[in-house]
Amino acid sequence: MHSQRVVITGIGVITSIGQNKEEFWQSLAQGRSGVTQISAFDPSSLPVRIASEVKDFHWKDYFTSKEANRLDRFTQFALAAAIQAAHDAKIQEGGEDVGVIVGSGVGGLGTLLDQEEVLSQRGAERVSPFLIPMMIVNAACAQIAIHFRAQGYSSAPVTACASSLHALGEAFQVIKRGQARLIIAGGGEAPIVPLAMAAFANMKALSFRNEEPQGASRPFDLYRDGFVMGEGAGILILESLESALERRAHIYAEILSYACTTDAYHISAPEPSGQAVVCMIKKALKEAALSPQEIDYINAHGTSTPLNDKIETMALKEVFQDQAYAVPVSSTKSMIGHLLGAAGAVETIATLLPLDRGIIPPTINLEHPDPDCDLNYVPQRAISGEVKCAMKLSYGFGGHNACLILRRFEG
């Protein structure tokens, strides 16, 4: 069987800076931050009191109140984004050749904590029978499949902050092999709860800039001090080129390659040499049959943590050599924070913006260049630029690395 070409035909996104594709893209192009003081609960007892929240989520556009009450917030985000993406791609119903691959890092953590409180305060008989189907990490994947009656290939990758880029990569490979015609893929996350905020803060992973929320996420800046917790979802419709052409669908981009590696080094720290990332990027370039000089934009993982940004920069320099200083590299986490398991898919949507519209989103808050991070990170303001091929990178706790290469579709 000859391998299928794979394209992206639908986009759905829920973030702090936009609850649909157009809002999200406009905010990215304008360099707008979605980081604020936490409003979902009283954060005053916590060491970190800022996050990138989805405010006034328009759930009534997607669910009845009965449906919403049976879905954790991460699943609500993912299903809403999937409904947007399906509408964008003009697809109605699933079938045996339609699959769903949707990942998450922590799944229904909010529901789990709520029900633990019910157990301790009101007793075992009051614990919701919906707890398990709401909290399991594959709930978003399953609910999307049920909604669209998608009965084909299904999976829910859990690789921390690389989860949804692994989901897109797996979907690409499945369609390429001819095991599905179309796959709804991406990730959802809703980790802004007191326990997670305290735990990440005590790991020293979060930014402690409580007094300047919008300036807290500052990837590649000399004074970066950690990431900002975010929430939301990104869902894309991937399908075979044959199917897309048959449907006369709008094609945002073609996926040329996917690669993944593992540091096999530490549960939360990146491997200091960055060699697993270097190896992965080289594999992705080789599969795409591209030279480093042919990559016009890189959407970095760029968490705003001291180690990640330094090691990611080192890896890019090793692969791209002199070209590393020419290619624009930006981190959209500077605006939306870190969406953990949903980050890769949401940022892949940000990577499509330059392909489709010729605008490269900025890394905001990059005011004091770090001598160790000396690439072209598109500081502060978006730039216009011709982008034919773009690369998206994600890394997750446990040493999970993922890379996707996209090309503007030209027939």
Q: Alpha-carbon distance 235 to 121, whole Å?
A: 37
To the query of whether residue 161 is one of the catalytic residues in this protein, the response is yes
Q: Which of 260, 338, 373, 403 is catalytic?
A: 338
Nearest partner of 297 among 310, 314, 278, 316, judged by Cα: 316
CA distances from 260 to 41, 108, 150, 400 (A): 37, 26, 27, 7
- Take residue 100 and report the two structure tokens written for it: 């769903």
- Take residue 36 and report the two structure tokens written for it: 């604020």
For every residue of 88-115, DSSP letters joined together read: HHT----BTTEEEEEE-SS-SHHHHHHH
For the purposes of burial, counting CB atoms within 10 Å of the CB of 206, is it exposed (0-12), middle (13-18) or buried (19 or more)?
A: buried
Q: Which of 141, 147, 161, 260 is catalytic?
A: 161
Reduced to 3 states (helix: H, G, I; strand: E, B; else coil), residue 86 is helix
Q: Alpha-carbon distance 167 to 140, whole Å?
A: 13
CA distances from 269 to 11, 296, 356 (A): 32, 29, 35
Those residues whose C-beta lies under 8 Å from the C-beta of residue 109, and which sit 6 or more positions away, are 74, 135, 190, 191, 193, 195, 196
Beta strand 329-330 with 400-407 is unpaired
Those residues whose C-beta lies under 8 Å from the C-beta of residue 349, and which sit 6 or more positions away, are 11, 13, 21, 24, 234, 236
Q: Which of 141, 166, 260, 301 is catalytic?
A: 301
To the query of whether residue 301 is one of the catalytic residues in this protein, the response is yes
Q: Alpha-carbon distance 271 to 64, whole Å?
A: 46
Q: Alpha-carbon distance 344 to 16, whole Å?
A: 16
Length, in residues, of the chain:
411
Q: Which residues are catalytic?
A: 161, 301, 338
